[in-house]
Amino acid sequence: MSNRRDFIKKTTLGTLAISSVLGVSGFAANHENEETAAEPKEKKQQKPIIISTWNHGLPANKESWKNLKEGKSALDAIEAGMKIPEADPTVRSVGYGGYPDREGKVTLDACIMDHNSNCGSVCFLQGIKHPISVAKKVLQNTPHVMLAGQGALQFALSEGFKEENLLTPESEKDWKKWLEDSKYKPVINIENHDTISMLMLDQDGNLSGGCTTSGAAWKMHGRVGDSPIIGAGLFLDNEVGAAAATGLGEAVIRTAGSAMVVELMRQGKSPFDACKEITERIYNKHKNHKDMEYLQVGFIALNKNGEYAGYSLRSGFNYAVSDDVKGHRMEDAKFKMSWDK
């Protein structure tokens, strides 16, 4: 009997000892794995980098890049770049020389946003060549985000901006031709809603952005699109990324497009996947809509690591990119469908 008790005792102690050793080593191994799994894989930031929409984004990028390299602030660099197409009468969708509304009035929209979520915006502004500069003054010198119409003009004049005629002879000629053919119908023009939107990751790793446009050609007087609306035409969160839109503003507003792109990046999606998903959402909401025949929207996005992308509903969208690796260049965006569909 004593031999049996000794056997059970020794076996029990041995089992406990083995279990204890295995338990401790197993816990240590599991704990080690947990620590390893918890270690984030940090990607190296590619900075600075600037992206902007359409061909007129390239000269804008070059000017912004020059200012950034000279030590100017991100907001100053964005303003300097966007003033280039605003002052170019051959760019018919932005600033001076932009196509007028159906009353023959050139009305402008713009917004700008910094890494601290400070933002300024103007909409339905007439007679001021550089709405991006007025938007920056709204950010810097008022407690507000957006000023509109006559209020925006009064503010601009009080800040020293000069009022001038923005309707060029070429745009006036095209407007009068449109009047003959259109019979004054308030239909969105499919050839001209080419906002310039710009996103920037500066040398300090901070995000900022801006938009400026003269809006859809021949629009109804008083119409405002997505470009000056924070969350629609432009949005950024300095912890996550930035996004901006171009195309038919009504469709972007209906989906809070740029804010949604940023939120998808917050959830872990790449800039490309985020732009694509929101474009698909716009398509699904508009495929039976009266606007579908002429609907085009495009997004650009830039995350904190300097990864970027563009995507559009229909073919033809491109964007400018500037960085230290490849310099200044144009890139074509992927798209869901061609214009013949």
Q: How many helices (H) and strands (E) are present in the chain, helices listed first?
A: 9, 13
The structure's pTM equals 0.86
Fold of 49-337: Glutamine Phosphoribosylpyrophosphate, subunit 1, domain 1 (3.60.20)
Question: In this structure, are strands 308-314 and 234-237 parallel, antiparallel, or unpaired?
Answer: unpaired
- Nearest alpha carbon to residue 54 among 94, 19, 83: 94
β-pair partners for 332: 318
pLDDT tens for residues 33-85?
333 334 445 567 789 999 999 999 999 999 999 999 999 999 999 999 999 99
- Nearest alpha carbon to residue 53 among 88, 82, 95: 82
Residue 22 has pLDDT above 60, yes or no: no
Residue 168 bears catalytic tag: no
Q: Strand (E) positions, the chain? A: 49-53, 108-113, 119-125, 146-148, 196-201, 207-213, 234-237, 241-247, 297-303, 308-314, 318-323, 327-332, 334-337
The 3-state DSSP class for residue 153 equals helix
Return the percentage of the chain with pLDDT > 70, whole number.
Answer: 84
Token pair belonging to 229? 């609306």
Catalytic residue among 168, 195, 212, 279: 195
CA distances from 298 to 149, 172, 252 (A): 27, 28, 9
pLDDT tens for residues 285-315?
999 988 888 889 999 999 999 999 999 999 9
pLDDT tens for residues 135-175?
999 999 999 999 999 999 999 999 999 999 999 999 999 99
